[in-house]
Amino acid sequence: MTEPVKIDAEYMNRWLGENTRITSLCPKTLYDIQTLIEYYRDIIVPGVDVSIAFPVGDKDSPRASVEKGEVIIPFHLLSEGRVDDTIGAMIHELHHIKLSASEVFLHTLSFKFLRALMEQIDCYGLTLAERVFSDSSLTVDKILSNEEKVENDVKFLRKVLGDMLFLINAVEDVRIDSNTPPNLKKYIDKSDRMHGGRLKEFIEEGNITEDSRDLTSLAYMLLCHHKEIYKFQFVDEKYGDVDAIVDGDPVEYPLELFTAFADEIANHVLGEYYKFCGKPKGTSNPQGSTPSDSFDIDSYFGAKVNNSVGDSLEEQFNNMEAPPHQNSKQNAEAAALEEATDKINNVTVDTSNSGTGAIGADSKIDLSKNRHKAGANATNNSPSPAEELRASLEEKRKMVFISPEVNQQIKSFKDIQVYTTTECFNDYPVVYDAVIYDSTN
């Protein structure tokens, strides 16, 4: 027999009042949670059309989208009875909508920076940009879609852009949580105390060390360091000013973050390229002393089409339409992208390991170093422990356990109207409550 879920709703119970306690996740409780989140929505983003919803379909996943102006209740928390954590997560996501740059801006900036690095990364005689952008069929729609049947270079670009955004998100989480008002931040602090303990244990088990350099590990390092969960000297030296993060401009600091970790991003990008696309043909001997007879088509076409494809992708990113509720941010974001171009052109990566004037092939830099927890079975193609943790958490967020029938019951509470009137009988006032189910709403 399944044990009943233990409900953790300390702050939610206070909001409901002394005589009310949440004891189960019945439709009325879920309606109350939705109502509270909508109440906080109107405080955090007043006048902004942000939807609050419970997904019910197999393809729905709990999330919040700055771009779409929607917040999805995280069922992976509710399924464990963590009501306060759910509310804290929603408060956090609502502040993303209020304070964060749009996904359009972050994707565009990340691609600009990625392209600049790829033009400096040597990949067996061609830059990585020349190899990847030799594919004239590349489009932004392909890269940003969830389509699985796409070319390996599309999967590569999708992965590294996602890793760069994950790095930004770690720092942005620190910034927005630190700028959350105390009366709302209590929910986030409660969640941090629990998750912080788990992350600290994960680190102390050796899964993330001072030498970890894949971008997912770096993201967790930044988050833990600046939330004082676990201190890393490497982060302190590279990007250790928490006040600069808290007071940072959301359209300016992402480039500062990328610049601070340009070497790490470049090495990560090259490693991911080999993971998804393999070594170019004719490179079985990294020193090039015994070239293969196989024809390396990228080598032939790469330099010819690199600029046109790269320019086309950058233009497609620049022309992505920002969501209506983000109109107030568009001018600042456009100006920041304009200024970023010159700054990005001045970013260089450390070439000391390659000796060729560019980040070299894996014969010249140790791509296996610091990517995994030490162990004889670790390989370049296997994910790091931090990447495995991230994947497991993202998979957990996809859990959907609300049926369409229950969802309809939740919605039905909005149709219940309570009307209160006062009548006087022999100078004694009498209060009447009339409860009406109004299905026309």
Look at residue 127 and give its three-state secondary structure.
Answer: strand
Angstrom distance (rounded) from CA 273 to CA 158: 11
Look at residue 421 and give its three-state secondary structure.
Answer: strand
Predicted local distance difference test score (pLDDT) of residue 153 = 93
Neighbours of 24 (CB within 10 A): 10
Angstrom distance (rounded) from CA 90 to CA 210: 32
188 and 57 assigned to the same domain: no
270 and 410 assigned to the same domain: no
Angstrom distance (rounded) from CA 435 to CA 441: 15
pLDDT exceeds 80 at position 123: yes
**Mean per-residue pLDDT, 143-172:** 94
Residue 355's pLDDT band (cuts 50, 70, 90): very low
184 and 277 assigned to the same domain: yes
The closest of 46, 82, 48 to 65, measured between CA atoms, is 48
Whether 81 contacts 5, CB under 8 Å: yes
135 and 160 assigned to the same domain: yes
Cross-strand pairs, 425: 428
Structure tokens at 172: 């942005």
94 and 108 assigned to the same domain: no
Span 367-394, pLDDT tens digits? 333 333 333 333 457 889 999 998 888 7
Cross-strand pairs, 160: none
Only one residue has tokens 């991230």, namely: 390
Span 69-91, pLDDT tens digits? 777 777 777 878 889 998 998 89
pLDDT exceeds 90 at position 273: yes
Report percent pLDDT > 70 for the chain. Answer: 74
* 16-25, 144-153, 205-214, range with greatest mean pLDDT: 205-214
Look at residue 81 and give its three-state secondary structure.
Answer: coil
R_g (Cα) of the chain, nearest Å: 26
Span 426-437, pLDDT tens digits? 566 765 555 454
Which residues lie below 8 Å from residue 346, measured CB to CB, with a gap of 6+? none
Residue 36 maps to which CATH number? 3.30.2010
Please tell me the pTM assigned to this model: 0.82
Domain contains 419 = no
Structure tokens at 376: 């004889």
150 and 242 assigned to the same domain: yes
257 and 135 assigned to the same domain: yes
Angstrom distance (rounded) from CA 101 to CA 332: 9
**Mean per-residue pLDDT, 287-291:** 40
Span 296-338, pLDDT tens digits? 555 555 555 567 888 888 888 888 876 665 666 788 899 999 9
Angstrom distance (rounded) from CA 434 to CA 116: 67
353 and 251 assigned to the same domain: yes
Predicted local distance difference test score (pLDDT) of residue 148 = 87
270 and 131 assigned to the same domain: yes
166 and 301 assigned to the same domain: yes
28 and 113 assigned to the same domain: no
Cross-strand pairs, 437: 416
- Residue range of the domain that includes 48: 10-99+403-414
Report the chain's mean pLDDT, rounded to a whole number.
80
Q: What's the domain count of the chain?
A: 2
Domain contains 423 = no
**Mean per-residue pLDDT, 419-427:** 60
Predicted local distance difference test score (pLDDT) of residue 116 = 95
